[in-house]
Chains A and B, each alone.
Chain A
């Protein structure tokens, strides 16, 4: 690597995170720490029925006996669960505001700054958005139009009140609370997130989207999202996330469950841009996320697409359980790490039904002193006749102090399974840089262009409205100074 490349890399490291502002707003919190009182406080704030509180408390008693999973390629100090606030809401949020006139203008301004207008006349065309601020859902757009089709799109808190049958049937059905310590923790203290139900035969006509914002200090965000696509239905869902710049690490432990019944399809996209910490590795979000989809019915399909650019630590494996015959699971991922960021991310594809297919495309880009790991598990159970998997993991190193790692596990109990695996690791190519610069592009532009090209296979899976944004985000993560 020549000196100019290193110099430019140095300027990249002075990463500027443009979502790092704080909204000054009075908030309401319980005491710090995790105990039964905290859980009761949350449940009471959300006006939950008894059975929900019981469910939470059971999860809590499981969590107390569990230890954090330690197999990942991540290093971070012990998390002190008693030094975190588990709930934070702007004052007066005991009831979700009926319309925007009841919402504090400061909150509306916050979302305007983040590029998510909530006012009627300015809402994003063709995208229904649920916005979550710390522990509460602030607003959901396009609700009425979706209701006409029988689609339910609301906060999970509201769904617990209004659709208890669906919640009782499906919550925790894909990620049991006792699955591991983070799922138990989330089940005990989850605050808000989205609930989606698409009725039989309905193709959701617009993108559904949730925007998560952590604002309060020392506060964990415990997002819970549940999406159910009934027989023959289709939905495309997107989540985005940002947080202010703070010197302390903050915990985000989300659980997302997807259920696709016969002939249904769910497309779930994430653009994760939590605050990654500064150039010395101080601050940033610890992002421990469990995302799992169940292809319950025949011919169902679940597709995960993620663009991971933020967080100090990312621990995340969006997975598919391919139970229905002929069901399809897909995972498309771009993970960019810079400075001292660490990402350990990948997927799990569990083939149970016959003729099930899975496809994994992972692109990891490491810069600065970061570490980027792809971890994947593809398993074929005994009855998964003629199941197929295709895996492609590519890593790109920019600079010479970062690391890229690939940890693929394959486990087959059925000898008709077909598995293809391709992997590559490369350094950013000096000849490509020379070529671009000879055409007049700056060194930064050239790197950004080449990296975007490297990610294209994944970025093109994103819904149109977001592909351009994601491309810009990729460039920003590299440059730090642009935007």
Chain B
């Protein structure tokens, strides 16, 4: 099993957020999690990435034969986990290019691969950026600083395509995007998809799933997955909302 979440219960500040959650993802699969606000979707993403604010009450997570709880944030990232943030944070004064260069090299170091040099990295970055329709001028700016909502999301996808993760988690990447930006973002995901990597797409709206075809759709309500199935579930939600699952 590629990612296996078993009986996961999590709380933050005395509030139980995830309750005995189970989820299995195999290599090459695209899973979508849909659910109303406050159902715990973003908590799940952050627990997977290793954010330290949460208390794990019960359960376990296996990722590529590792006990995920044995790895800290950067080790999980280096093992191939990528989180596209819902609200990417601004880091003033830190230029995009060296930032990503360090990121890719820390991953290569863990895999005992040779570091990628400046010139080859600059080439890689340029080609990926132009694939995603990102203006080269944007690469001279500081990480997320002064970016519009759409630019931030596009930059998340650029980072994802550079780091080429085994498991990409997209946390409400579609929120706040107009149709054009949504197309660019989803194109990026579709281009990156292979039989060897997996995606976990968290979304509130069904719209995103018009562009990315998930293999499985899960409905999350009140900290648990209450229904799983194919893309027909997304259509159900589109018609009736989350009401009937609650």
Contact = CB atoms under 8 A, between A and B. Distances in A.
Interface of A: 2-4, 429, 431-432, 434-443, 445, 449-450, 452-457
Interface in B200-230: none
A4 B51 CA distance: 11
A453 B89 contact: no
Interface of B: 49-53, 72-74, 77-78, 82-83, 85, 88-89, 91-94, 99-100, 102-104, 106-107, 110, 142-143, 159, 163
A454 B92 contact: yes
A449 B99 contact: yes
A438 B85 CA distance: 10
A260 to B, nearest CB: 30
Name the residue among B91, B100, B110 with the largest chain A CB count within 10 angstroms: B91
A436 B163 contact: no
Given A439-B77, A439-B163, A445-B106, A454 B93 contact: yes
Contacts of B143: 435
A429 to B, nearest CB: 7
B77 A450 contact: no
Contacts of A453: 91-94, 142
29 contacts: A2-B52, A3-B52, A429-B89, A432-B89, A432-B91, A434-B51, A434-B73, A436-B99, A437-B72, A437-B74, A438-B50, A438-B77, A438-B83, A439-B159, A439-B163, A440-B106, A441-B74, A441-B102, A442-B74, A442-B106, A443-B74, A445-B106, A449-B94, A449-B102, A453-B91, A453-B93, A453-B94, A455-B93, A456-B93
Name the residue among B51, B100, B159 with the largest chain A CB count within 10 angstroms: B51
A452 B93 contact: yes
Contact of B91 (A436, A440, A455, A457): A436
Contacts of A441: 74, 102-103, 106
A439 B99 CA distance: 9
Given A4-B52, A439-B103, A450 B73 contact: no
A4 B72 CA distance: 10
Contacts of B83: 438
Contacts of B89: 429, 431-432, 434-435
Name the residue among B49, B50, B72, B73 with the largest chain A CB count within 10 angstroms: B73
Given A438-B49, A439-B159, A452 B106 contact: no
A456 B49 CA distance: 29
Contacts of A443: 74
Contacts of B91: 432, 435-436, 449-450, 453
A439 B77 CA distance: 6
Which 5 pairs of residues, A with B, have the shortest CB-CB distance? A453-B93, A456-B93, A453-B94, A439-B103, A440-B77
A197 B78 CA distance: 55
Nearest to B107: A440
B98 to A, nearest CB: 8
Name the residue among A2, A429, A438 with the largest chain B CB count within 10 angstroms: A438
Contacts of A432: 89, 91
A434 B48 CA distance: 13
A235 B103 CA distance: 39
B93 A440 contact: no
Contacts of B106: 440-442, 445
A445 B77 contact: no
Given A434-B89, A437-B73, A440-B163, 15 more contacts: A429-B89, A435-B88, A437-B74, A438-B50, A438-B73, A438-B74, A439-B159, A440-B78, A440-B104, A443-B74, A445-B102, A453-B91, A453-B92, A454-B93, A456-B93
Contacts of A452: 93-94
Contacts of B102: 441, 445, 449
A241 to B, nearest CB: 26
Nearest to A454: B93
Nearest to B49: A438
Nearest to B144: A435
Nearest to A439: B103
A149 B76 CA distance: 60
Given A440-B77, A441-B102, A443-B74, A450 B85 contact: no
A211 to B, nearest CB: 28
A437 B106 CA distance: 10
B77 A457 contact: no
A146 to B, nearest CB: 34
Contacts of B93: 452-457
Contacts of B99: 436, 439, 449
Nearest to B103: A439
Contacts of A449: 91, 94, 99, 102
A424 to B, nearest CB: 12
B110 to A, nearest CB: 8
Name the residue among B53, B94, B104, B143 with the largest chain A CB count within 10 angstroms: B94
Contacts of A437: 50, 72-74, 77
A63 B110 CA distance: 61
Nearest to B83: A438
B138 to A, nearest CB: 17
A325 B83 CA distance: 56
Contacts of A435: 85, 88-89, 91, 143
B188 to A, nearest CB: 17
Nearest to A429: B89
Contacts of B110: 440
Contacts of A440: 74, 77-78, 103-104, 106-107, 110, 163
